[in-house]
Structure 1
Amino acid sequence: MADVDTRATFILRTYLHLASAVVGCVAVLYGLFSLGLAEPIARGMLSISWLIPMGGFILINWLASRAAHQAQDLGTQYLALAGFVVAQALILVPLLFMAQMMAPGVIESAASVTLLGFLGLTFIAFYTRKDFSFLRSLLIWGGVGALVLIVGGSLFGYELGTFFAVGMVVFAGAAILYDTSNVLHHYPEDRYVAASLELFASLGLLFWYVLSLFMQGE
């Protein structure tokens, strides 16, 4: 129901915050690798059950999303986004460390494909102006199913393999369409921080599984 200028300002703010979150995540990762902290962090995470760091990440994701969506204070919303950016960087450290050791150059390739995929999906959402809110139920059930498979793989030691990674790339793509549609049609004008957080989470998920596929091909 907002006028065109108000909505355009909201969209611009959302994507500026998304870009800032991506730059912030890259900066945190660069600092960890430059200072030699990435290796002990990666080895520490890989030496324990993956359910522990994954569970912590999911909890932080939920808390940050809740705060960004519900907090009235803008500072709290920014704190939630910053906390999630740091959590995203930390959860990426083991995968990036292994990629750097096993297949130099694959990180840049995966990042390029992720960016192209994100831009393509964003173009589709903006061009069609379609409301993709119908994807919500599919994303909820798909997320629950994926979580069950991940937990089962961690507990029973079976590999999820290429087909799972492909499925998660599709899942992340659907999440980006859903989030972008919400930015266009549903978010209140004062929730650009929350909108950028959701887009950043979906983008991070897409990068994770694109990089996983690249590593499986090496």
Structure 2
Amino acid sequence: MVDRTYGVSQTGARSVESHKVLRNTYMLLAMTLLFSAVTAGIAMSMGIQRMNIFVFFIGAYGLMFLVHKTAHSAAGLLATFAFTGFMGFTLGPILSAYLTLSNGPQLIMTALGMTAVTFAGLSAVALITRKDFSFLSNFIIAGAIVLILAMVVAMIFNISGLALAVSAGFVLFASAVILFETSQVIHGGQDNYILATISLYVAIYNLFISLLSLLGLTSSD
């Protein structure tokens, strides 16, 4: 009887902790997305040109490394906003380029709406079904390697068809990450809300950019 009671209390404690991590993750995610929107607007108002791809990778991965190094301290929050602010700033020139198209605003709003609906739907699936999506980890690792290589090839050889496939692949990849990371938080596999926030933020960022690319590539403009 004592063992059973202890087991139930342990399960309850884990459930409370998971809910706390999930709540903090969503709160921080909302704030970082808003901050990214602000920095993107600043970049657009300043007329910033699209960043060199190598500078982008150095900045993005450097700041992401900083987030992971400081995730267990208060400095992790500052690093998180530095990273998401940087990502939002680099998004500004891309949005400015789309706004030059006749249907640019429509494309951006459509991609934004599709991103929001996709994230909400996938999160709901993980939260309601409480299914363990940890089996997606191998797919995510393999998918990341394949997509990065395909992206480099598409950039070097300027293959539009491959670029379309890469964008579609990133939509699936980002969707898998959202399911996996949300499931990890629910089942206690991820107990750090800063790391959970960064994973979901990057997934949302990739999802939005990929959907925008797909819409742009299929647009008459």
Using structure 1 for the length normalisation, give the TM-score.
Answer: 0.85
Structure 2 spans left out of the alignment, 5+ residues? 1-10
Find runs of 4+ consecutive structure 1 residues off by over 4 angstroms: none
Deviation of 1:6 (Å): 3.1
Deviation of 1:152 (Å): 1.7
Bigger shift: residues 5-14 or 140-149: 5-14
Work out whether residues 118 and 176 of structure 1, in 8 Å CA contact, stay in contact via their aligned partners in 2: yes
Partner AA of 1:217 in structure 2? T
Aligned ranges for residues 20-99 of structure 1 at < 5 Å? Answer: 20-34=31-45, 37=46, 39-42=47-50, 45=51, 48=52, 50=53, 52-60=54-62, 62-69=64-71, 72-74=72-74, 76-99=75-98
Deviation of 1:217 (Å): 2.3
Deviation of 1:61 (Å): 5.3
Query: Between the two proteins, what is the percent identity of the paired residues?
Result: 26
Greater RCO, CA 8 A, separation 6+: 1
Using structure 2 for the length normalisation, give the TM-score.
Answer: 0.84
Cα root mean square deviation, aligned: 1.9
SS of the equivalent of 1:40 reads coil
Work out whether residues 132 and 177 of structure 1, in 8 Å CA contact, stay in contact via their aligned partners in 2: yes
- Determine the C-alpha separation between the residues in 2 that align with 1:104 and 1:195: 31
Structure 1 spans left out of the alignment, 5+ residues? none
Partner AA of 2:119 in structure 1? F
Deviation of 1:215 (Å): 1.1
Of 167, 170, 183 in structure 2, the residue corresponding to residue 168 of structure 1 is 170
How many residues are aligned here? 204
Of 28, 32, 49 in structure 2, the residue corresponding to residue 17 of structure 1 is 28
What corresponds to 1:211 in structure 2? 212
- Determine the C-alpha separation between the residues in 2 that align with 1:19 and 1:79: 15
Work out whether residues 65 and 198 of structure 1, in 8 Å CA contact, stay in contact via their aligned partners in 2: no
Higher alpha-carbon Rg:
2
